[in-house]
Structure 1
Amino acid sequence: MGDLGLLIVAVSLFVGGHELLSHPLRAPLVRAVGEKGFLGIYAVVALGSLFWAVELWKDVPPDRLWEAPGWAYLAALPVMLLAFILFVGSVTAPNPALMGGGVPGAAGVRGVQNITRHPMMWSFALWAVVHMVLSADSRTLVLAGGILVLALFGSAMQDGKKRAADPGYGAHMARTSFVPFAAQLSGRAPLASAWPGAVASGGGLLLWAVVLWAHPLVLGVPALQLAR
């Protein structure tokens, strides 16, 4: 098996292990080893498989399946800014869609939850789409594609699990949207509710600027490429 085949195995383990541990295996493992023991197993499987996948990604020679047009690099800038805003907003306020994220409706829908009830997962999904389109190589399609599937499929699975466990979560789903800005575009929420808040906006903008600056230093590839 070549390096690309091993990468597919590692990404499959990362995605499959996350889904198995998050859903069918979570309850029996918690009963067997306790919550802390489960979190330890989860961390070992998730971080171990992701580390293996990233190391294999480095070993796969890059190829080029297509050439992204120049406008795609420009379009990626606001998309990645949104991804960073969603990520910062997801870690600076409780989110009922996450494990241990609080009771739906206890504090109302606020911040980036008005954009999507899964801001962290959508930040990963947007990152994955941007890098799949712009990198356009086999190894990135596998790695970023796995993260994309995990983010969106995992979010949908989490919605079902949360709704089954807590009837109040259904009301939270009705007040929010899965796809970013769908609630505003469908008229279920006012357009003004799409404002993510000062903390998420400022933190996301700062993180976006830092990554733009550090991208060529860390990866050797400039994030902003206008001449293509």
Structure 2
Amino acid sequence: MEILILGLLLFLGLHLIPTVPALKAPLVHAFGENRYKGLFALLAAFGLTLIIAGYASAPGGTRLFASSIGARHAAPLAMVISFILFSAANMKTHIRAWVKHPMLLGLAIWALVHLLANGHGKATLLFSAFLAYAVIDLFSVIQRKTYKQFTPAWKFDVIAVISGLLLALLVMTFHRQLMGVAVVPWGV
């Protein structure tokens, strides 16, 4: 469990740096923009690796609460929505223009439905940490008004919807292979 906690602290801690401009600015100044981004990416990848390894090796832990049947039934649709939001986050979509921060909203949906659908210790730690991060960062970007203006194009919405749907179906199909839990009847 310690590896999982270390990975969460590193990965999410790094991603919280931009929420405190007074912390980020000196780091960018000290390292330079490109080195800062490179170091950020390298440390984030290491943190994500620790999260994956830590989650895989940690025991399930004590069941902290009963799994929500409603969350388990809603999870496939919630994952389709999350993956569409993830896909729309870096394209000039109408979805992004309307939602403003689709990556954080998709992450919050993903984390919340997984948190409620599980209930054992390591899952509660993982998904509550990501949910807390998404909420904190979402409030931060709204407060800082960090939203880039752009002209959306429908072709990007079509790409986001199709790629998000396909990726969600792929993950659901192989969820048992990846995570040890079948989430849809057609899963392998």
Q: Name the counterpart of 2:86.
A: 87
* Aligned with residue 24 of structure 1, among 22, 25, 29: 22
Q: Name the counterpart of 2:46.
A: 48
Name the CA shift for 1:70/1:32 in 2 (closer, same or farther; >3 Å).
closer
Cα distance in 1, alignment partners of residues 3 and 167 from structure 2: 32
Name which one, 1 or 2, has greater alpha-carbon Rg.
1
Q: Name the counterpart of 1:202.
A: 162
Cα distance in 1, alignment partners of residues 7 and 80 from structure 2: 29
Cα distance in 1, alignment partners of residues 163 and 42 from structure 2: 29
Name the CA shift for 1:25/1:41 in 2 (closer, same or farther; >3 Å).
farther
Query: 3-state DSSP class of the match of 1:197?
Result: helix
State the TM-score, normalizing by the size of structure 1: 0.67
1:50 deviation in Å? 2.5
State the structure with bigger RCO (CA 8 A, min sep 6), 1 or 2: 1
What are structure 1's unaligned runs of at least 5 residues? 94-109, 164-168, 173-195
67-76 or 56-65, larger mean C-alpha shift: 67-76
8 Å Cα contact 1:74/1:224 also seen in 2: no
Cα distance in 2, alignment partners of residues 149 and 206 from structure 1: 27
Identity of aligned residues (%): 29
Higher helix share: 2
Deviations 1:3-30 (A, max 9, x none): 3x55334423332232235533321122
Cα distance in 1, alignment partners of residues 170 and 58 from structure 2: 27
Query: 3-state DSSP class of the match of 1:12?
Result: helix
1:201 deviation in Å? 2.0
* 2:45 is the alignment partner of 1:62: no
Q: Name the counterpart of 2:153.
A: none
Cα distance in 2, alignment partners of residues 158 and 71 from structure 1: 31
Equivalences for residues 69-148 of structure 1 within 5 A: 69-93=68-92, 110-148=93-131
Cα distance in 1, alignment partners of residues 57 and 103 from structure 2: 29
1:54 deviation in Å? 2.4
Aligned amino acid, residue 76 of structure 1: A
What is the number of equivalent residue pairs in this alignment? 177
Q: Name the counterpart of 1:11.
A: 8
Deviations 1:171-218 (A, max 9, x none): x7xxxxxxxxxxxxxxxxxxxxxxx93222222221121111111222
Structural RMSD (CA): 2.5
Deviations 1:86-132 (A, max 9, x none): 11111332xxxxxxxxxxxxxxxx52125421101111111111111
8 Å Cα contact 1:87/1:119 also seen in 2: yes
Cα distance in 2, alignment partners of residues 41 and 90 from structure 1: 23
State the TM-score, normalizing by the size of structure 2: 0.80
Equivalences for residues 154-193 of structure 1 within 5 A: 154-162=137-145
Aligned amino acid, residue 5 of structure 2: I
8 Å Cα contact 2:3/2:53 also seen in 1: no
6-15 or 138-147, larger mean C-alpha shift: 6-15
Q: Name the counterpart of 1:223.
A: 183
Cα distance in 2, alignment partners of residues 209 and 27 from structure 1: 40
Cα distance in 2, alignment partners of residues 87 and 151 from structure 1: 13
